[in-house]
Amino acid sequence: MSQSHTSPIVGLPELCIVVPVLNERDNIVPLVAAVRETMGEVAWEIMFVDDNSRDGTREAIRAVAASEPRVRMIHRVGRRGLASAFIEGAQASFAPNVAAMDGDMQHDETRLPVMLQALRDGADLVIGSRYVPGGGIGEWDKTRAGMSDLATKLGQKVLKAHVADPMSGFFMLKREVFDVALPNLSAIGFKILLDIIASLPTPPKIVEVPFQFRTRVAGESKLDIGVMRDYALLLIDKMVGHIVPVRFVLFAGVGSVGVVLHMLVLLLSLKAVGLEFDAAQGLATGVAVLGNFVLNNIITFGDKRLKGAKLWRGLLLFALISAVGAAGNLSVAAFLFGPQMTNWVIAGLVGAVMSLVWNYSVSSAFVWRR
Ligand code: GDD
Ligand code: MN
């Protein structure tokens, strides 16, 4: 690997600390002061990446920057996400080493010089780790600790390298390593470290430096149900994303739930209610389409969820698309099953896959568009 991190080029910081922020107004001043204090002689810069905070975070950053030229900022509008914020922050800097650190003082900035030294000593990637001796999760309750534990075990499954804390948001890496991962990044949600490691063709040389996760003093955590959904998406994308889009996998999953729902309603209305087959089949189809729409709206397209009037318009469109898909399914199956005398399993499957692909592509283009 190159020696660029030791080059004495005047004006080029050795380390860029990328700090994604969303409503962290009261943490800006203490964070910059703490970094300045701890970095000593190292040439550093901080790249805040703000996703249009509403609490005066940018004003606080601007005020600090007036007397601290090493503070920079990217202001993103109409964008969200910790992972993509880190990526864009790293790309906006020329520093040969890049760190990711939270903007809420929960990460121990006094570890930064130790982490930088590990890179100088030949590591590709240094992780601020809660799960090596000397590290810890601080004052987390049982639920959060258990969730983190589960998420960590899942994450370790998709990685080729052994990492004690692949979920950490506190890490540092060489730019040349980041550049290799860049084209393969999923950039979904919170877990950018896992994303980076899984995106490298060969396992990087990793060092884990222990740190104690601090308790948040100002502001609020942004970890919510959406973050957990994004994590599931990231894992799926890392496992099968090179074959099919992750959304398609979700859409197909919802579709299979729809089939089960269909059969259940069919069974009930035939046996319990005593409907005629045509009526029962019609009812089951209606319920399945409605169920698919609701689940897709929450899960598959949760980030583009339709509400209010758009919800009804979407449902109507979705039902129409599904009807066309079903007609296509029937005719393809009949064509394969009919003159060619192919077996009915293949005919049925090809028909189902055809309508799945149709429903998916047309729905993502017209029902859940941006
Ligand atoms: N720009 C931007 N955009 N920043 C964001 C966004 C976003 O959509 N969401 C969160 N942030 C910023 C917050 O302002 C904070 O500086 C940092 O990202 C971490 O967000 P928190 O909401 O405080 O996360 P956490 O403390 O629950 O989770 C942390 O610990 C996890 C370990 O379990 C993060 O470091 C995670 O990455 C980490 O996995
Ligand atoms: Mn936090």
Ligand 1: residue of 82, 188, 212, 231 to mutate (most ligand atoms within 8 A of CB) is 82
Nearest one of 54, 94, 89 to 73, comparing CA atoms: 89
**Which ligand 1 atom minimizes the distance to the CA of 221?**
22
Residue nearest to atom 8 of ligand 1 (CA): 81
Protein residues within 5 Å, CB atom, of ion ligand 2? 104, 106
Checking DSSP bridges between strand 15-21 and strand 44-50, what pairing results, if any? Answer: parallel
Contact 340, 332 (CB under 8 A): no
Distance CA 71, CA 184 (A): 29
Listed as ranges, residues in the chain with pLDDT below 50 are: 1-4, 7
Q: Quote the pLDDT of residue 5.
A: 52
Q: Quote the pLDDT of residue 312.
A: 95
Strand partners, 97: 15, 174
Ligand 1: residue of 107, 152, 223, 224 to mutate (most ligand atoms within 8 A of CB) is 223
Q: Quote the pLDDT of residue 342.
A: 65
Q: Quote the pLDDT of residue 10.
A: 66
| Cα–Cα distance list, 98 to 14, 90, 312 (Å) | 9, 6, 47
Residue nearest to atom 30 of ligand 1 (CA): 169
Q: Quote the pLDDT of residue 189.
A: 85
Q: Quote the pLDDT of residue 313.
A: 95
User: What lines the ligand 1 site, CB under 6 Å?
Assistant: 20-22, 24, 49-51, 80-82, 85, 102-104, 106, 148, 167, 169, 190-191, 221-223
Distance CA 239, CA 249 (A): 11
Q: Quote the pLDDT of residue 2.
A: 46
Which pTM was predicted?
0.81
Q: Quote the pLDDT of residue 1.
A: 45
Distance 221 CA to ligand 2 centre (A): 5
Distance 102 CA to ligand 1 centre (A): 6
| Cα–Cα distance list, 289 to 239, 254, 266, 296, 368 (Å) | 29, 11, 13, 10, 16
Using DSSP, state whether 75 is helix, strand or coil.
strand
**Which ligand 1 atom minimizes the distance to the CA of 103?**
16
Residue nearest to atom 32 of ligand 1 (CA): 168
**In the Cβ-directed half-sphere of 22, how many Cα atoms lie within 13 Å?**
16
